[in-house]
């Protein structure tokens, strides 16, 4: 009897020590306000190099629009004739000096065609900036979900460690009381050692996930994460919606923008086939008589070697390629949306099952196994199997929730509406 009481006291002391160690091993939570997913996306948008690159693309497109609207510069031309010759033309007495201004005149709508290309490129740059923001939101969501899931896996591992330590202490008491063989104590110690290693791995992965999120938003995490972000599941009847088309999505809008740029390129290439005029009004001074006279010239290039036909063919081929790519994009986007909807629905079904009936059954089985083991009705292997099943079910539930949140974020990215032109 005294041996049993002493063993119980020792077990109680060990449990208290284990709980204290669990408290030390728990990851400290920042004391600031909760960092929500929307706030993390906002912070990442301001610190992402991709956003800076997209803004630089918009600035470059706007500058290109300004350049496209500029007219060609005139040129100043000076000619001195009848000098450094022989006889009366030996000096400058018979010199004729002409000062003229050559003014290029664009024909064929070249300037408006350049402006059309620049406008199409500007619209595409604005669209790419919106796509960049949508990609940033998807990436931050994935980092955020993984960080929350990693913290839950760590909590599950710590709880499993506490359970294995309790089981090891109980096995030690049973062995000391002569109610079990030393093999039970050895098995319990193995389970405890494995649980301690699991905590170390989970803690390391949680630290990496949190540091990745902090790196992505561009600053240290000042507060805890929103744990409820992982638990938002749709209703039980959630499933793929009616078949959707790609109209209005960002991916198809980007393909439309590429086609618009190609269309404008064809117009520009055709305008280049029309020769430009260069008019040159000027003044000529005759040194011999000290008189002046007006000079007027017109020059037109002869499209003998380069008529611009090859450039038009090239632009037309690019237009056909962009049109085919647009049709391919429409098919790919519709297929991706359908697959994402199915993945999200399947993940939601798995998450509801893992967090509902399956988890409840595993918890009840583990509770019964603990009671039965203490009362000597179940063996240690039954207890270890029930505890292992509970731990695996908890991890499966966490993974299912994370998979649904990632699938939902991917679906939202694919179906995100394209911004209207001018916004």
- Number of Cβ within 10 Å of residue 150's Cβ equals 24
CATH of 2-71+106-273+308-415, one of 3.40.50.2300, 1.10.3720.10, 3.30.110.40, 1.20.1600.10: 1.20.1600.10
Mean pLDDT throughout 347-372? 84
Q: What pLDDT, on a 0 to 100 scale, did the predictor assign at position 189?
A: 86
Mean pLDDT in residue range 192-207: 93
CB 387 within 8 A of CB 338: no
pLDDT value for 240: 59
Percentage of residues of the chain with pLDDT beyond 90: 46
Contacts of 33 (CB under 8 A, 6+ apart): 222, 223
User: Is the predicted pLDDT of residue 26 greater than 50, yes or no?
Assistant: no
The first and second tokens of residue 219, run together, are 């600053």
Residues 6+ apart with CB under 8 A from 357: none
What confidence category does residue 24 fall into, taking pLDDT thresholds of 50, 70 and 90? very low
Question: Given this model, what pLDDT does residue 91 score?
Answer: 78
Grouping H, G, I as helix, E, B as strand and the rest as coil, residue 79 is strand
Q: Helix, strand or coil for residue 75?
A: strand
Q: What are phi and psi of 289, to 5 degrees?
A: -110, -5
| Closest listed residue to residue 160, CA positions, set 387, 393, 395, 389 | 387
pLDDT value at position 383? Answer: 75
d(CA 285, CA 268): 42
Give the pLDDT of residue 25: 40
pLDDT in tens, 217-274: 988 988 899 988 888 888 766 665 555 678 889 999 999 999 999 999 999 999 999 9
- Mean of all residue pLDDT scores within the chain: 84
Counting every residue written for the chain, the total comes to 423
Q: Span 374-393, mean pLDDT?
A: 78
Is the pLDDT confidence value at 359 over 90? no
Q: What is the pLDDT of residue 208?
A: 95
Confidence check: pLDDT of 278 > 90: yes
For 254-270, the DSSP string reads HHHHHHHHHHHHHHHHH
In the three-class reduction of DSSP (H, G, I as helix; E, B as strand; rest coil), residue 95 is classed as coil
Which pLDDT band, with edges at 50, 70 and 90, does 409 fall under? Answer: very high
- Percent of the chain exceeding pLDDT 70 equals 89
Domain residue extents for the chain:
2-71+106-273+308-415
Distance CA 282, CA 109 (A): 27
Q: Record the pTM.
A: 0.79
> What pLDDT does 154 receive?
94
Give Dmax over CA atoms of the chain in angstroms: 143
**DSSP structure string for 299-338:** E----SS--SHHHHHHHHHHHHHHHHHHHHHHHHHHHHHH
**Over 70: is that where the pLDDT of 324 sits?**
yes
Highest mean pLDDT among 44-53, 188-197, 202-211 belongs to 202-211
- Least confident window among 25-34, 218-227, 411-420: 25-34
The C-alpha angle 30, 33, 39, rounded to 5 degrees, equals: 110
* pLDDT at residue 393 in the model: 87
Cα dihedral angle (229, 230, 231, 235), rounded to 10 degrees?
90
Can you tell me the distance from the alpha carbon of 170 to that of 371, in angstroms, rounded to the nearest whole number?
12
Q: What is the pLDDT of residues 168-187, one digit of tens each?
A: 887 788 788 777 678 878 88
Backbone angles phi, psi at 280, to 5 degrees: -135, 80
User: At residue 7, does pLDDT exceed 80?
Assistant: no
pLDDT at 230: 87
Q: How far apart are the C-alpha atoms of 334 and 408, rounded to whole Å?
A: 16
In tens, the pLDDT along 66-123 reads: 999 999 999 999 988 888 778 777 877 788 888 999 999 999 999 999 999 999 999 9
First-to-last C-alpha distance (Å) of the chain: 82
Is residue 397 predicted with pLDDT exceeding 80? yes
Residue 348 contacts by C-beta under 8 Å, 6 or more apart in sequence?
A: 233, 234, 238, 404
What pLDDT shows up at residue 30?
Answer: 59
Smallest CA-to-CA distance from 104 within 361, 280, 331, 251 is with 280
Give the list of residues 6+ apart from residue 333 with CB closer than 8 angstroms, or none: 246, 249, 251, 252, 414
Chain mean position to CA 190: 43
Extract the tokens encoding 73.
């510069």
β partners of residue 417:
249
Question: DSSP 3-state assignment of 289?
Answer: coil
Q: What is the predicted pLDDT for the residue at 15?
A: 37
Q: How confident is the model at residue 138 (pLDDT cuts 50, 70, 90)?
A: very high
């Amino acid at each position: 009897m005294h041996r049993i009481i002493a063993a119980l006291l020792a077990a109680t002391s060990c449990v208290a020590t284990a709980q204290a160690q669990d408290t030390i091993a728990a990851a400290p939570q920042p004391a600031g306000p909760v960092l929500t997913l929307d706030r993390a996306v906002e912070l990442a948008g301001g610190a992402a190099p991709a956003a800076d690159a997209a803004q630089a693309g918009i600035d470059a497109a706007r500058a290109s629009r300004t350049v496209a609207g500029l007219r060609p510069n005139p040129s100043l031309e000076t000619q001195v004739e009848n000098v450094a010759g022989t006889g009366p033309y030996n000096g400058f007495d018979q010199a004729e000096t002409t000062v003229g201004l050559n003014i290029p005149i664009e024909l064929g709508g070249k300037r408006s065609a350049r402006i059309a290309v620049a406008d199409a490129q500007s619209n595409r740059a604005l669209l790419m900036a919106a796509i960049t923001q949508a990609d940033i939101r998807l990436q931050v969501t994935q980092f955020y979900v993984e960080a929350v899931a990693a913290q839950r896996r760590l909590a599950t591992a710590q709880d499993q460690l506490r359970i294995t330590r309790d089981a090891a202490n109980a096995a030690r008491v049973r062995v000391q009381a002569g109610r079990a063989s030393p093999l039970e104590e050895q098995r319990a110690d193995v389970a405890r050692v494995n649980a301690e290693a699991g905590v170390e791995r989970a803690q390391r992965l949680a630290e990496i996930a949190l540091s990745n999120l902090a790196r992505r938003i561009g600053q240290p995490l000042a507060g805890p994460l929103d744990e409820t972000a992982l638990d938002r599941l749709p209703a039980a009847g959630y499933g793929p919606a009616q078949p959707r088309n790609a109209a209005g999505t960002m991916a198809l809008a980007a393909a439309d923008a590429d086609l618009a740029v190609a269309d404008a390129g064809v117009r520009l290439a055709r305008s280049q086939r029309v020769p430009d005029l260069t008019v040159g009004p000027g003044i000529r001074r005759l040194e011999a008589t000290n008189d002046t006279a007006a000079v007027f010239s017109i020059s037109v290039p002869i499209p003998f070697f380069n008529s611009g036909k090859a450039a038009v063919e090239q632009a037309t081929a690019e237009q056909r390629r962009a049109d085919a790519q647009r049709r391919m994009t429409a098919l790919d986007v519709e297929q991706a949306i359908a697959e994402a909807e199915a993945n999200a629905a399947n993940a939601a079904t798995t998450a509801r099952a893992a967090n509902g009936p399956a988890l409840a059954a595993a918890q009840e089985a583990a509770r019964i196994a603990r009671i039965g083991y203490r009362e000597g009705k179940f063996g240690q292997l039954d207890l270890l199997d029930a505890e292992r099943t509970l731990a695996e079910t908890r991890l499966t539930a966490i993974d299912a929730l994370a998979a649904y949140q990632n699938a939902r974020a991917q679906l939202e990215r694919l179906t995100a509406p394209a911004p209207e032109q001018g916004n």
